[in-house]
Amino acid sequence: MASEKILVINPNSSKSMTDGLDQLVKDMDSYGTTSTEIITYTAPSGPPSINNEDDALESAKIVFADLQSKLDAYDAFLVACYSVHPLVGMLRDKVSPRTHVTGIFEASISTSLSCLPMGSGKTRSKFGIVSTGTYWEKTLSDGVKHFLEVEDLASCKRFKGVETTGLNAIELHTAPPELVRKKMMEATKRLVKDKDVKVICLGCAGMAGLDSIVEEALVEELGDDARYVYVLDGVKAGIGMLESMIRALPKAL
C-alpha cells in the first residue's frame, strides 16, 4: 500500500455524492492512474447540496471542525466542491507547510491552462465550465476572474464562460436520466458553439461519470472536430495535481 494518502473531501452531507467519487477513484485505479492511497470523506452534517456561497461557508465550518484531529494523517487534501470553497484556505492555514491542499475548481483551471495553446489568434484557445444551477454562472465567473487576476473577463482570451443546466448537484443523480442528459447536452452545446473551446470543465463534483454525455453533445455540435476538445473532471484533475505535488514537493527536506 502506498504510504502517501490523499483525503478527497465531499463537503456536503450527501453520501450518494461520495459514492460517485468512490466509483471515480475505482475507475482511475483500474487504469493504473493513481499512485497514492485515496480516501473519501463525507461531511457529517450540513447542506446535502452546496447551491450557494452560504452553503459553502456552512459546510466548511462543519468539516473543518470535524477534521481537526485528523489533519496529520494525510499528505494532501482535495476539496471536492466546484466553487471557491472556503475550506481550501482554512485547511491550508492549518496543515503543515508541506501538506498539499487544493480544490477541484482551482485544479481544473490550472490543468485547463496547461492544455491551451500559447499565443493569441490560436484556434480552440479557451476553456469553459458546464455547471449546475444558474446561480453559479456569475459566482464561478467571478472565481475565475480572481484566480487569473484579471480585472475584466470580457478581455480575457483564455476563458469562454459558464453554462449551466438548471439542476442542482443532487438532481444530477435523482432526476430522470433523460432530463439530465438533455440539460447537460444543451449547456455543452451553448458553450462550444463558437468552436473556440479547447477544454470543458465539469463544474460540479456530482458530474463525476457524466463525461460521456458531454462527449456526445460535442459530437452532435462539432462533428469530427469534437476530438480536439478535452472534457475535464475536476476530481481527476485534483487527484493528479496533488499526486504530482507529493512527488515534486515531498515532505522530507
The pLDDT of 105-134, averaged and rounded, is 90
Mean pLDDT of the chain: 92
Cell of 36: 497514492
CATH match for 5-105+235-248 among 3.40.710.10, 3.40.50.12500, 3.90.320.10, 3.20.20.70: 3.40.50.12500
Question: Could you tell me where in the chain the CATH 3.40.50.1860 domains are found?
Answer: 106-233
**Would you give the distance in Å from CA 38 to the centre of its chain?**
16
| Position 173 pLDDT exceeds 90 | no
Give yes or no for a contact between 170 and 49, defined as CB atoms under 8 angstroms apart.
yes
Give yes or no for a contact between 71 and 3, defined as CB atoms under 8 angstroms apart.
no
Question: For the segment 39-91, what is each residue's pLDDT rounded down to a tens digit?
Answer: 999 999 999 999 899 999 999 999 999 999 999 999 999 999 999 999 999 99
| Residue of 62, 83, 59 lying closest to 204 (CA atoms) | 83
From the number of C-beta atoms within 10 Å of its C-beta (0-12, 13-18, 19+), residue 5 rates as middle
Instruction: Give percent above pLDDT 70 in the chain.
Output: 96
Cell of 178: 433523460
In angstroms, the CA 160 to CA 41 distance is: 32
Give yes or no for a contact between 90 and 216, defined as CB atoms under 8 angstroms apart.
no
Q: How confident is the model at residue 252 (pLDDT cuts 50, 70, 90)?
A: low
In angstroms, the CA 88 to CA 96 distance is: 14
**Would you give the distance in Å from CA 82 to the centre of its chain?**
5
| Position 119 pLDDT exceeds 80 | no
Question: Could you tell me where in the chain the CATH 3.40.50.12500 domains are found?
Answer: 5-105+235-248
Pairing, β 76-79 against β 126-131: unpaired
Give yes or no for a contact between 8 and 80, defined as CB atoms under 8 angstroms apart.
yes
| Position 32 pLDDT exceeds 80 | no
| Position 178 pLDDT exceeds 60 | yes
Question: For the segment 18-28, what is each residue's pLDDT rounded down to a tens digit?
Answer: 999 999 998 88
Assign a CATH topology to domain 106-233: Rossmann fold (3.40.50)
